[in-house]
């Protein structure tokens, strides 16, 4: 009986490993496991102390002039509410209250003529009042005018 010369175990294991890898890659035997890993670039991360320095600067830039609402009208019944718009004058509020008692609706040109203010200011004031008064509404007439409706003063 003849014995064959011993083969190198390294070469044999390498060839077997290569064959195994080729077989696995062609049969899609690899299993991909997805993990909930979030990769963030380190250049965008900031420590909590740097956020503390940046945050007040952002708040200062976003501030606008705030007006305290302290009128004693039935249309401005939200006493003490901080708003961002400039409040209409008392003459405008009186005209709107009078019109809301009559028929409950007003257009900007009527307000401008009655209060003696420019038409653009009348539109701005009516929009501000409509956003402040509960139960108010804006509609469009058949002519394309904006019709501002306010509830009767007694229902406020």
Average confidence score pLDDT of the chain: 68
Q: For the whole model, what pTM was predicted?
A: 0.45
108, containing H or E segment: helix 108-115
Query: pLDDT tens, 12-59?
Result: 777 777 777 766 655 444 455 555 555 544 444 445 444 444 444 445
What per-residue confidence (pLDDT) applies to 55?
47
What per-residue confidence (pLDDT) applies to 128?
87
Question: What is the C-alpha to C-alpha distance for residues 37 and 35, in angstroms, rounded to an integer?
Answer: 6
Find the mean pLDDT for residues 75-98: 71
What per-residue confidence (pLDDT) applies to 20?
72
Domain assignments of the chain as residue spans, ordered by start: 88-155
Helix (H, G, I), strand (E, B) or coil at 132: helix
Query: pLDDT tens, 99-109?
Result: 888 777 888 99
Topology adopted by domain 88-155 = Arc Repressor Mutant, subunit A (1.10.10)
Q: Which residues of 32-52 are buried (b: 16+ CB within 10 A; e: fewer)?
A: eeeeeeeeeeeeeeeeeeeee
Does the pLDDT value for residue 97 go beyond 70? yes
Does the pLDDT value for residue 64 go beyond 80? no
Does the pLDDT value for residue 9 go beyond 80? no
Nearest to 85 by CA among 127, 40, 39: 127
């Amino acid at each position: 009986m003849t014995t064959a010369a011993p083969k190198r175990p390294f070469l044999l294991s390498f060839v077997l490993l290569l064959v195994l890898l080729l077989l696995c890659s062609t049969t899609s035997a690899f299993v991909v496991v997805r993990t909930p890993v979030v990769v963030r670039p380190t250049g965008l991360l900031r420590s909590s102390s740097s956020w503390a320095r940046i945050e007040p600067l952002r708040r200062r830039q976003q501030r606008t002039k705030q007006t305290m609402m302290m009128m004693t009208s039935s249309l401005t019944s939200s006493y003490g509410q901080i708003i961002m718009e400039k409040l209409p004058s008392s003459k405008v509020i009186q005209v709107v209250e009078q019109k809301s008692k009559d028929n409950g609706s007003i257009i900007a040109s009527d307000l401008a003529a009655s209060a003696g203010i420019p038409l653009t200011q009348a539109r701005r004031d009516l929009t501000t009042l409509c956003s402040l008064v509960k139960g108010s509404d804006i509609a469009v007439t058949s002519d394309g005018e904006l019709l501002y409706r306010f509830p009767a003063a007694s229902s406020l």
